[in-house]
Amino acid sequence: MASGDVKAQKPCDFGKFQFKRILNDNPQSKISFVEGKFEGNEDAAVVILEKTPFSEEMCTKILKTQEGPEKDAIPEEIFRNDIYSGYLLRPERSLNEIKVTVIYPATEKHIEKYSRQELLLVTETAQLYKERVEPYLKDNCFSVQWVYNILEHKAEQESVLYEDFSEQVGFMLIRDMKWDMKQNEDLHCLIMVHDRKLRSLRDLRARHLPMLRNIRSKVFIYTKEKFDMGEDKLMLYFHYQPSYYHMHIHVVAITVENPPGGGCHRGHLLDVVISNLEICDNYYERATLCYTLKKNSPLAKIIFKQPEGDIDNKKEINDANTL
């Protein structure tokens, strides 16, 4: 198979999945990350279980199904206090969807990524980036072949919403897996640029302003026409550090609560990025950028000079911040 070809894989047989452990979960987001393997193969698998959003139609049906005579359809009262009461409902299967994402075969990097760990705050100066972070990233990034497969129209074309084919300022707008397109209020898309030399914010210079302005203009025109969501209802932002090193921008409705990576320590709004590059050509080459890393991640060990085993976090963080 030539490099870049899409690997043909059979659908996963979950009846043969062998559970090993829960790597992480988030009750608030209704999501769990599970490690295991499939019977007959020793390769690890990471399975992500996520409750799908509730639509108006689904809510109506869930409440109506509780009228049936079946035992499971009867609401189970949890508490009652004045005007407040709580219940457990057990809706029928068609109303109890769970989205499942499978990474298989999964590498140690994938398992590390989705495992629960203590977080460390990184204050990344330009010097720290040049001396420790950039050399590490050149040899240790996740493969972005899956991104190239999309950009080359070899995979996931059903998720492509819009494309500007220009090599210099072009991009592809795709639906993020987190959004099922049932409700515009949950909108989450990704913009992937065609320029493969761009990996993260650190690579942006003033010469990329035409591309960024083109993205901003055309994405807002498209989302307004298609979803009635204009620039007053959407956030366009970068992650730093990004989860993968091909430049991409998140497009998220402002009605989405706690958007992934949208916090002040990781999210960088496109409009602010454009403004910073207008002020200074190499702003993101020189800037100090903050983000969090999992304590046991390889990059954290390099940044904080961690030996194998536990470390004195406070001392190591102070050492790193003096760079």
| Catalytic residue list | 248
Q: Is 244 annotated as a binding residue?
A: yes
Q: Is 247 annotated as a binding residue?
A: yes
How far apart CA 181 and CA 226 sit, in angstroms, is 11
DSSP sequence for 25-55: EETTTTEEEEEEEETT---EEEEEEEEPPPP
Q: Is 166 annotated as a binding residue?
A: no
229: burial class by Cβ within 10 Å (0-12, 13-18, 19+)? buried
Q: Is 240 annotated as a binding residue?
A: yes
How far apart CA 24 and CA 232 sit, in angstroms, is 35
Q: Is 249 annotated as a binding residue?
A: yes
Q: Is 239 annotated as a binding residue?
A: yes
Q: Is 250 annotated as a binding residue?
A: yes
Find the angle CA(117)-CA(122)-CA(127) to the nearest 5 degrees.
145
Q: Is 241 annotated as a binding residue?
A: yes
HSE toward the beta carbon, residue 162, CA cutoff 13 A: 19
How far apart CA 183 and CA 174 sit, in angstroms, is 16
Residues in binding site: 146, 156, 176, 178, 239-250
Residues in binding site for substrate: 146, 156, 176, 178, 239-250
